[in-house]
Amino acid sequence: MDEKKVMLSGIKPSGDLTLGSYLGAIKNWAERAEQFDCYYFMADLHAITVRQKPADLRRRTVEQLAQYIACGLDPEKNTLFIQSHVSAHAELGWVLNCFAMFGELSRMTQFKDKSRKNEDNINGGLFTYPCLMAADILLYQPDYVPVGEDQKQHVELARNIVQRFNGIYGDVFKMPEPYIPKVGARVMDLLDPMSKMSKSDEAGAGVVYLMDKPEDIMRKFKRAVTDSDTENCVRYAPEEKPGVANLMSIYSGCTGKSYAEIESEFAGRGYGDFKKYVGEAVVEMLRPIREESLRLIADKAYLESVYRAGAEKASRTAYRTLRKVYKKVGFVER
């Protein structure tokens, strides 16, 4: 039997998981367990490039694990762990700092964006975190890294580091490929369809969270921006009608219907009607996730057993890679 290919991804517990997190990433992750050997983690080391309240970070990290499981990530079929519990991430991150060029890191668009948003705290971690992200990836020698289009640059940096490191020391790291889902990959803010739906949006008025109550979800969709045209028809045209296109993308992600089918379903019906149906589809999709998350969050002993077992398994894989790297660069074996 062929060995399964390896896939890995993580999400920062810097805010509560959103509809965008689910449709763009986690929903797709859950469908891959039979095909791939999957590692998914709570990226708490990455979260502290921006100041966090310690109690909130701890709570969100564990709650995010519960939501991963409620979204269909079976701990028996996927390795689920907390990033800071596998110290190889930070250790390899430092080594890879020494194999990433200053110019490469300066060009990272996310560094520029985050620097603008955190002008009072442009710290070294904010600048070098792509090296930690490369370590996250390369420790597990994955074949694929599922990323949104906006994260593709980080995988490209990891690939540059692989080429540079392997060019000096031989075949140490596997060259990872970005794995970009074609549908539902980028859910936009309901009030600002030109901006990605972000879990770190403090106001959250245009953000749907996995743990939102049904009435809150319906209210957010009722207020969702459509378009200022006089056409008032449901048609997929992202450039002309970004608000409607975003709602169609969400509805497609919830129902599996194509854009042509959605256009046909809502032909002759106005935006108000459409927003109501999209909201209801989201409520029904998220209802079982919310209920199961609440049940799991109450079972602290079970969640602890999952993240402990996940860290043990992840550590075994990660340290195999780290030992090889340490030997190659000339460190004395511990």
Residues 29 and 108 in one domain: yes
Expressed as residue numbers, the domain containing 78 is 5-180+299-329
Are the C-beta atoms of 250 and 285 separated by less than 8 Å? no
Residues 248 and 318 in one domain: no
∠ CA 305-306-311, nearest 5°, is 100
Residues 147 and 78 in one domain: yes
In a domain, 206, yes or no: no
Residues 254 and 311 in one domain: no
Residues 310 and 276 in one domain: no
Residues 309 and 288 in one domain: no
- Return per-residue pLDDT of the chain as tens, 334 residues: 468 899 888 999 988 899 998 998 888 888 888 889 999 999 999 999 888 999 999 999 999 999 999 999 999 999 999 999 999 999 999 999 999 999 899 888 777 777 677 777 788 888 899 999 999 999 999 998 887 666 788 899 999 999 999 999 999 999 998 887 655 557 899 999 988 888 766 667 899 999 999 999 999 999 999 877 667 789 898 888 899 999 999 999 999 999 999 999 998 888 999 999 999 999 999 999 999 999 999 999 999 999 999 999 999 999 999 999 999 999 999 8
In a domain, 61, yes or no: yes
Which of 291-325 are b and which e, b meaning 16 or more Cβ less than 10 Å from the residue's Cβ?
ebbeebbeeeeebeebbeebbeebbebbbebbebb
In a domain, 310, yes or no: yes
Q: How many domains would you assign to the chain?
A: 2
Q: What is the CATH number of the domain that holds 235?
A: 1.10.240.10
Q: Which residue type does 322 have?
A: L
In a domain, 201, yes or no: no
What is the per-residue DSSP string for 286-326? HHHHHHHHHHHHT-HHHHHHHHHHHHHHHHHHHHHHHHHHH
Q: What is the pTM of this model?
A: 0.88
**Among 4, 27, 182, 196, the one annotated catalytic:** 196
Across the beta sheet with 78-82, the strand order is 78-82, 36-42, 5-11, 144-146, 177-179
Q: How far apart are CA 24 and CA 250, in angstroms?
A: 10
**Among 27, 114, 220, 241, the one annotated catalytic:** 114
In a domain, 228, yes or no: yes
Residue 199 annotated as catalytic: yes
**Among 53, 77, 174, 199, the one annotated catalytic:** 199
pLDDT of residue 203: 63
pLDDT of residue 151: 75
pLDDT of residue 2: 60
Residues 306 and 287 in one domain: no
Residue 114 annotated as catalytic: yes
In a domain, 240, yes or no: yes
Q: What is the CATH number of the domain that holds 325?
A: 3.40.50.620
In a domain, 71, yes or no: yes
Residues 159 and 224 in one domain: no
Residues 169 and 262 in one domain: no
Residues 280 and 305 in one domain: no
